[in-house]
Amino acid sequence: MPTSTIPVITIDGPTASGKGTVAHKVAEHLGFHLLDSGALYRLTALQAIRRDTSLTDEHALAKLAEHLHISFTGDAVFLSHENVTDAIRQENVGNTASKIAAFPAVRQALYGVQLGFRKAPGLVADGRDMGTVIFPNASMKVFLTASVQARAERRYKQLIAKGFSANMEDLLMDLKARDDRDTNRAIAPLVPAEGAHVLDTSEMTVEAAVAQVLQWHAAIGKS
């Protein structure tokens, strides 16, 4: 099957909109591969923090991104055979990832890596520019959103459940700052892709959001 004919569902949206969980469950239901593009930027950020790389050195950060040894096994994320699933979900790593994602060289370094996830029978790709930049010809595009308050509450619960300390006011401030960076950056800003289904998950359960995405996907075959 030519790569260009392999179906792709893109699920974009801001932090804690639920896109990661929804993407995972949709991929699982359809038997598709999964790309968590945000994890690639978080892995780059984690490596930069560990190596004390300057967060203003675009060239050095891009080099780090190019030479990451990444693998995904189920829900687990590995960096050079080390399970870093929880490490990359810490707030300082997420904030760092948001900052370095604004660098064109870093985005370019990860561009080919992301395209490589498109394999038969299909791919569900979640991130911030999956439908606008990485897979502009995706068979279906979804943009998940939610209020900042709802997203902060989700992040709080996630962090506490994993044993991390969390403060609601700090989370709200961090999310607002991250939203501002992501939506106003010059390269690949966070916006719904043309023709994307927009879904507000503020008052929705994960199950309801997944059901809606699968319903939209089923409708494609009937059109």
Q: What is the pLDDT of residues 144-190, one digit of tens each?
A: 999 999 999 999 998 899 888 889 999 999 999 989 988 998 888 89
Give whole-number Cα distances, 19 to 3, 27, 35, 88, 184, in Å.
24, 12, 11, 17, 20
CA of residue 170 relative to chain centroid, distance: 21
Give yes or no for residue 143 having a pLDDT over 60.
yes
Give the residue with greater pLDDT, 74 vs 176. 176
Structure tokens at 61: 């950060």
Report the pLDDT value the prediction gives residue 1, as an integer from 0 to 100. 65
Decide: 208 and 22 in contact? Cβ < 8 Å.
no
- 127 has binding-site annotation: no
DSSP 185: -
- Of 47-61, 65-79, 98-112, 113-127, where does mean pLDDT reach its minimum? 65-79
Report the pLDDT value the prediction gives residue 157, as an integer from 0 to 100. 92
Give yes or no for residue 223 having a pLDDT over 80.
no
Mean pLDDT of 46-60: 96
CA–CA distance, 207 with 195 (Å, rounded to integer): 23
CA–CA distance, 193 with 84 (Å, rounded to integer): 30
- 56 has binding-site annotation: no
pLDDT tens figures, 172-181: 999 999 899 8
Report the pLDDT value the prediction gives residue 222, as an integer from 0 to 100. 67
Percent of the chain exceeding pLDDT 90 equals 78
Give yes or no for residue 125 having a pLDDT over 60.
yes
Nearest to 23 by CA among 125, 155, 151: 125
Give yes or no for residue 81 having a pLDDT over 60.
yes
Mean pLDDT (the chain) is 93
- Go through the chain and tell me how many residues it has: 223
Exposure letters 60-76 (e unless 16+ CB within 10 A, then b) = ebbebbeebeeeeeeee
Helical H segments across 67-203, by residue range: 91-100, 104-115, 148-161, 168-184
Element (H, E) at 9: strand 8-12
Structure tokens at 6: 């392999």
Q: Read off φ and ψ for residue 149, nearest 5 degrees.
A: -60, -45
Percent of the chain exceeding pLDDT 70 equals 99
Mean pLDDT of 111-117: 92
Domain 3-215 class in CATH: alpha beta
Q: How many other CB atoms are found less than 10 A from the CB of residue 116? A: 10
- 221 has binding-site annotation: no
Mean pLDDT of 113-125: 94
- 188 has binding-site annotation: no
Report the pLDDT value the prediction gives residue 76, as an integer from 0 to 100. 87
Mean pLDDT of 73-89: 90
- 21 has binding-site annotation: yes
Structure tokens at 193: 């892709």
DSSP 190: S
- 116 has binding-site annotation: no
